[in-house]
Amino acid sequence: MKIVLVSRIDEADALRYTASLARELEDLGHDVTFEEGTAEHLGEEGVPFEEIGGDLVVVVGGDGSVLLTVHQMKKQVPVLGINWGEVGFLADLEPDEAGAFFATHTDGFRVESRMRVSLSVNGELLGDALNEGLVVTDRPAKMLRFGVYVDGTPAERFRADGLLVSTPTGSTAYAMSAGGPIVDPQIEGFLLVPLAPYMLSSRPHLISTQRTLEITLDTEKPAHLVIDGQSTFELAKEATLTVKKSDQPALFVHTGKPFFEKVNHKLRNL
């Protein structure tokens, strides 16, 4: 099996663990390489994110490391996260579990798809989000005015500090902190969560991916779209954000841990 290892590079212990894991995987007969940034810190040869291929990408880090990896891969490869962060909703294994997992999955593994949202502004594709797209003003304490249109029909108009356009996977991330529901990742829908809306009647919406979803921004204040915390785009004063289901879902190795059991465990240990 061809495996690419990615490590967070701001912690020496994570890098040492990644180097040790590489040797363990090679002993099991796998062909192992490193992502370019990881390789540089380990004194090895590596491949850029954009050229990552093979059968599996193993990410040693937190959710941010996993999001960065998914965000920068041109072609999605199955990802397995080993948690070296705070919570790690996207990292199914703890460091001490990885060895046993690979030893018992020498012939392959089950892969599950996680939908991403494709975000376009005024007809220009800006990128795909695994967790969320965030529309927010760059001036603190200033509100934005939003319009939500479903199949061309006005569904909501509200003022808020910002708006999250989240996936079910992202429902346990920023959207949850903002008061949104936890959504089963097997459901395919767009989760809209207003940030500090002016009216209490402005509530989260879960909208089917089968529908056409557009969000208008009408403001005199500077605003930005942030995709998965990785890419930031300036928005015009009268921008229209089109939300679609991405043609390229993220691919994750299923480790056998039920989603809601994982959520319950991680939330109780925050």
Q: Please give the annotated binding residues for NAD(+), written as ranges.
A: 63-64, 131-132, 142, 159, 161, 172-177, 196, 230
Q: Are 240 and 120 in contact (CB under 8 A)?
A: no
Q: Which of 10, 27, 55, 63 is catalytic?
A: 63
216, two tokens: 């208008």
- What φ, ψ does residue 86 adopt, rounded to 5°? -75, -55
The C-alpha angle with vertex 242 and arms to 239 and 246, in degrees rounded to 5, equals 145
Answer yes or no: 27 catalytic.
no
- What φ, ψ does residue 203 adopt, rounded to 5°? -115, 165
Count of H-run helices and E-run strands, the chain: 6, 19
Q: Binding site: which residues?
A: 63-64, 131-132, 142, 159, 161, 172-177, 196, 230
Using CA atoms, how far apart are residues 106 and 41, in angstroms rounded to an integer?
A: 28
Residues 6+ away with beta carbon under 8 Å from 270: 86, 87
Strand order in the sheet with 46-47: 46-47, 31-35, 2-7, 56-61, 79-83, 250-254, 110-114
DSSP 31-99: EEEEEHHHHHHHT--EE-GGG--SSEEEEEE-HHHHHHHHHH-SS---EEEEE-SSS-TT--B-GGGHH
Please identify every residue annotated as catalytic: 63
